[in-house]
Each structure stands twice: as structure tokens, then as C-alpha cells.
Amino acid sequence: MGIFKKYGPILLLLLGTILLILLSIPELITSPNEFLLVSEGDGLKSYYVFDYQLKYRTSFNHFSGLNYPYGENYLYTDGFPVLQFILQLFPFLFEYSIAIIHLSIVLGFLLTTYFLFKIIQFYTKNDWISTVGALTLFALQPQFYRLFGHLSMSYSCFIPMTWYFLIQFTHEKAKWKWTLLLFCTSTLWFFTHGYLGLMLTIFISGALLLQQKIWKNVLNLIQIITFTLVPLALFFILSKWSDSITDRTTDPYGFFEYQSHWKSVFLSSQGFFGQWISKNISFENLSWEGTAYIGMTSVIILFALLILRILNFFRSKPINLYPKELQFFLFSSMLLLLYSFGFPFNQIPFLLDIVEPLKQFRAVGRFTWPFYFVCGVMSFCVLHALYLRAETKWKKMGAIGLLLVGSALFFVDSIPVLTQERSYSKNLFKIENLPIEQRQLISFIQSTKIKYQCILPLPWFHVGSELYGKEPNTLTMSKVLIASAHTGLPIYSSMLGRTSFSQTFDFFRSLGSKYQKKSKSSRIANKDFLIWFDYQPLFAEDEQELFDLSLPVFKNKCGELRSLSVKKIFEKVKVNNTSSVIAENHKQQDFLYENYSTKNNRLLGKVCNFNTFAKFDKNQLKPNHYYEVSFDYFWKGKKNMDNVLRIEFVKDKQVIWFYGRTICSYTDQQKDRVRVRAVFKTLPESYAYNFFLFGGDKKLQDYEIDNVLIRPIELNATWKNEKGINFMNSFPIR
């Protein structure tokens, strides 16, 4: 019995954690190398980056798989940097890259419950309450959602681990041991993901801020600086020192969009309680980035503590139900909670320009996570205190009942997450798990890759600079990442965080029309580009043109591989202005030219509004015919290209959108404008057509357009812009 009393809680904790994992995602334990938690988007990209770097790395910290020919600093790839650097020392493990990611997540889960157990045990001195508390808090922990997107942020152990070390630091006399552990763990989490490190730095600093007895000791102050500011400085210094790019965005999108909300913290829209709540309270327009529901138990206990706090003002002998020290951690986590709500930057936006580095951590809703753990630990401390204060047998039974109900409520709240039906893909990084047609394409690439320098996906994509961008076709991106992982050929596209403006600018212009001026990087070799086309729809204005320039080399039901010479991609052809009409003077029912000379030279609009700039009545545009609409889009500031050109037709009084493309994805990007050029085909029957811009609600930025030209594709039109430069259609005549 003595052994069971000593090791029983830990054994139960271990078994309980494994059981919860098996209940939710058993494959993490039973077959970690046989499946992928997510087979598209950011999640697949993280797998790909990690696997590609192990197999084909060119240097310790440079990733060359995406953003060809430049590649990227590995710290900016969201590819488990610390795990990657360690694993590079063990080549025999490279083929198990997916299993290593999954097992590291399992280890993180085990450490989460262990350190939650140690924290609750420290305050309650009760092993069994600590065991139950750790398991229930683990079951509802908010980072569980990260398993299906941002995998490197799913290590929920980072908060309890660092918190426990901090508790020991504040209580132990021998502080250097805990100083070293805090320094190492903070540094580890910074280089796992910057969000994790910054969150810890703020949480630790906030918790120590009010503990004056620690600050009074100079040695303690040195130790605190060692594990708070030094890891932060190391992260920024090393990330800057190892980075050759000087023109990354300083104003990434999302700070005011990816925030938390009191509803996503104190209420749930899922499960037994959530179904009732969602009928009475709207959860629309809440960012999933801010989801960190603390659980019904924590909500009730926080409310009860607030009432008790008020009542204590009128008591000569206040009632305390939790260790006073927990107030410091609650205070710190509440600071982070307010920050996750956008306070005070929503109220005073210009403050964000003063603390500009914070802009890089744009998804501020994530900073709710410490609040979840602090509230949970405090809840079990309160439930334990109620048990200790119970003086009679019946009161103790009542206190035990409250503990059981409180724990049960955590599990009830976690059921929708733990038992959600999910479908995972097989491990696509194992060639035998791919469909036969996809394997044939990859086999062809493998056998001929010496002829090619990179893979150009069609539809192409580029995510990263925050100014220019084209979202990927999910299916195409997934297949191209897998093809690159199996062959080692890098990809002439990007799905990264903060790419160089100049590199991205050159990329976009390189894929434009042959009449468009292009700049070719000296890093581009003379070998052909290999086009991957898997029969997804193409934009006619650039992707179809690239397709038509290329030559087929292999095809099957899965897709086509085509060869495209560097010369054809980068050569610029002079515009021939013969056989053209003068746009200003030309009149025909399916032609429009407008330079807004009578409207202050440009047409002004707001991104959040529906701004129609052209209309054609029924029978004006020829059925089943190609047309081109083009115009100059003038943007101001850093986000005004977050707008969408849309074309609609009217059928039986019903408006139907059939074309939409973001302004930032067009290839003719310039310093102060975008020359938008969209090619579309009218429907077989005659309809009315409307052309307008609309970027979405809550986007208040202004923009201007000018030089609108809508023409049948076979009709060439010349015109002159405000600078006196002659154009034919969309391109200057030089």
C-alpha cells in the first residue's frame, strides 16, 4: 500500500493521459508514422518543411524547398526548428520524420498533465485532487485545436512546465538551479515558436512584477533578467543575425482581426451547455484564433470568488479559498487576456506603431492560453479549500461532491473536442501510400529531375509578403508539396510567413504576360521549369498563358507534367500597336473606356463597400465570347490591396458571381499601383453583367481606380495615362 500511495497518483496520471489520447487520436500512439493529422494548408506545410529539410537541406538553418530560388531562413518556416536541429544529428531517423513529430506531441501531452499535477499538488498537498485536476484541465486545454493546423504550437506543456519552474524559483533558496531551467525552457520555446516564447516572457514578468520581496534582492534581479530578457534577446538577435532579408513586412495582417472575445473565453457554443447557449447568444464573427474556453467550472468559481471578494470588504476576518500567491499568476494571465482582446490597441491604434515589434505577433487571440491554465488550477485549489474547511462529515461529503461535479463539468465541456469525428490521411510522405497515378507523376519527376530546376504549380500560389499574395488551390498545393518532398525539386511558389517584398515582387511579375517587364534573379538557372498541372481551374490572364507556353512531357488521370523554358518565362515581347482603335474615341456596345477625367481624375472607393464601376445591359456583351477588363488600382498604406475584383451576371433577376480575384494576386504589381488585367468568358446566353470591387466587411481603407478598359479580346485599343505614357490594352508602348 505504501508503494501505491507513493506512485499510484503518477501511474494513474500516466494512464489517464494515454487513455484520453487514445479516446481522441489513438493513431498518435498506435501508428505515429502511418498518418497525418492534417493533409492540407499550414499543417501539411509544417510536415513538409520538416521532412524536406531533413532530406535535402543545403545548410543548417536555410530552407530551400519553397520560395525558389531564394529559400527561407528556417526559423521563419514554422517547421519545429529545435526538433529539426536536434534530429539533423541522427540521419538514421530521417525516414521517421512524421512519427517523430507525433511522438514529440505525445510527450508534450504527458508533460502537460505531469506539470499540472505538480502545480496543483504544490498548492493543495493532495495527490489525488492533483491527479484529477491535471487530467480534467488537459482534456479541455485550448491548444488541442492546434493539432489540426499549427502543429508546432500544440505543445501545451510549455505553460505548466515554465509555471512550475517559476513557483520553485520563488520558493527555493537555491535559485540558480531553477534560473537555469527557466532560461533553458524559455529559450527552447522561443525557438520552437516565437509565440510560445513571448507568451512565457510576459506571463513570467507579470507574475513577478508585484512580488516586491524578490525584486529587492540584486542577485534575484540578475536571475530574473537571465530567464526573462536574455531568452527574448537571444531569439531576436539570432533570428536577425541569421537572416539576410532586410525588407520583410513590419505590418503583417491580422492584429485587429485575430483577436479573442469574452464569449470565446467564458462561453462555449459546443456540447451539452453550448447548444443551449448558442440559441440565445450569437457566436458569429469570432476568430477561432481566440478560442480558449476556460470551462463551466472555472466560470462559476471565478464568479463566486468575485462575489466573495466583494463580501470580504465588509468582513473583519476575510475568507480566503486559494493561496494568495495565485493572485500574482491570475493578474499576469489577465494582462495577457486583455491583450488578446486587443486592449489597449483597439482603443488607441497608434500605440501599436510605438511598440512595432508586437505587430509581428499578429494572432493575439492565442495569448488567452495562460488564463485558461491559471483559472483551472485556481478552481481546484478552491474546491480543495472547501473540502478542508468542511467541519462535519456531511459537509465533507458535500465538498467531495462539488469536486466530483466540478471535474465532471470539465470532462462534459471537453467531450465535443475529444470525441469529434475526424478523418486523417495516410502518411503521404511514404510513397506507397499515394494513389498509383500520383506515384507515376512523382516517378517521372524522379527519373528526369536533372533536366529541371524547380516545380511551378498551376494554379500557382504565393503566400508570405502580406502585400502581394495569391492563395493556393488546396488540392494543387498538397500534391506539389508531396511531389517536392519525394523528389527534392524545390517549388517556385511560397507558403511561408514573411517573405521579402522585393523577392515576392519579382516572383509576381515573372509570371505575368510576355508584354510585361520582368526581372530575372541571377539565382535562376538555365534549366527548364517543370509545370505541375492537376486539372484545377486556371486564371486565363496569366496561368492559362503559362500553360499554353509549355510543352507536355507526361500525363495521366491525376495530372500533367509540362516543360517550360526559362526564356519563355522571362522574355519580354514589344507591344505591336498596329491594328488598334483609339480607346477614347471608340464606340461599340461591348466596349468601355473610362479615365474619370471629370471625376477628379480617379474613382474613389472603400474596400468594405460594393463599388460598381461598369455595367452592361442584356445583349450588350456577346454570348460565349472572351473579354478583358483592365484598370489601374491605386493603393495607399500597407493593406489596401486586400480587395477583390468581382464580375457577376443577372439571370431572372438573380445576381450570380462567376469571377473573383484578389487585387494583390495580379501579376502586374508596381510601386504605387496594380495594373489589373482579368480575362473572362461570357455565358452561352445573353445576360446583363456588372463589374465591381468588394473586399469584405470591416475593411475601411480607401483606394482609387482609373483607366478602366473593357474590350473583346480580339480588339486592341490604345490610350494614354495621366503620366502621358501610351498604352495598348494593358501594357505600355515603348
Q: In this structure, what C-alpha cell is assigned to residue 515? A: 508584354
Q: What is the mean pLDDT of residues 612-633?
A: 96
Q: For residues 369 and 638, give the distance between their C-alpha atoms in angstroms, rounded to a whole number.
A: 30
Answer for the pair 714, 588: CB distance below 8 angstroms, yes or no: no
pLDDT over threshold 80, residue 4: no
pLDDT over threshold 70, residue 226: yes
pLDDT over threshold 80, residue 273: no
Peptide linkage before 459 cis (omega within 30 of 0): yes
Give residue-wise pLDDT tens across range 131-180. Answer: 999 999 999 999 888 888 789 899 999 999 999 999 999 998 889 999 99
313 — pLDDT class (breaks 50, 70, 90): confident
Residue type, 76: Y
694 — pLDDT class (breaks 50, 70, 90): very high
pLDDT over threshold 70, residue 3: no
Q: What is the mean pLDDT of residues 376-380?
A: 95
Q: For residues 366 and 684, give the distance between their C-alpha atoms in angstroms, rounded to a whole number.
A: 49
Which CA distances in Å does 242 have to 72, 74, 504? 11, 9, 20
Give residue-wise pLDDT tens across range 50-109. Answer: 999 999 998 888 999 999 999 999 999 989 999 999 999 899 999 999 999 999 999 999
Question: Quick one: pLDDT at residue 639?
Answer: 61
Answer for the pair 697, 678: CB distance below 8 angstroms, yes or no: no
For 449-565, where are the alpha helices, taking DSSP H only? 474-487, 501-510, 543-549
Domain spans, the chain: 255-424, 431-570, 580-732
Give residue-wise pLDDT tens across range 11-44. Answer: 999 999 999 999 999 999 999 999 999 999 999 9
Question: Quick one: pLDDT at residue 348?
Answer: 86
Q: What is the mean pLDDT of residues 320-345?
A: 91
310 — pLDDT class (breaks 50, 70, 90): confident
1 — pLDDT class (breaks 50, 70, 90): low
3-state secondary structure 3-72: HHHHHHHHHHHHHHHHHHHHHHCCHHHHCCCCEECCCCHHHHHHHHHHHHHHHHCCECCEECCCCCCCCE
* Position with higher pLDDT, 709 vs 281: 709
Residues in CB range of 599: below 8 A, 6 or more apart: none
Residue type, 159: I
Overall residue count recorded for the chain in this entry: 734
Q: For residues 167 and 332, give the distance between their C-alpha atoms in angstroms, rounded to a whole number.
A: 14
Residues in CB range of 716: below 8 A, 6 or more apart: 577, 579, 580, 581, 728, 729
Question: Quick one: pLDDT at residue 207?
Answer: 93
Q: What CATH number does the domain located at 580-732 have? A: 2.60.120
Give residue-wise pLDDT tens across range 629-655. Answer: 999 999 876 666 789 999 999 998 899
Question: Quick one: pLDDT at residue 62?
Answer: 92
DSSP assignment string, 270-291: SHHHHHHHHHHS--TT--GGG-
pLDDT over threshold 80, residue 578: no
Q: For residues 189 and 165, give the distance between their C-alpha atoms in angstroms, rounded to a whole number.
A: 14
pTM of structure:
0.93
- Mapped onto helix, strand or coil, the DSSP state of residue 113 is helix
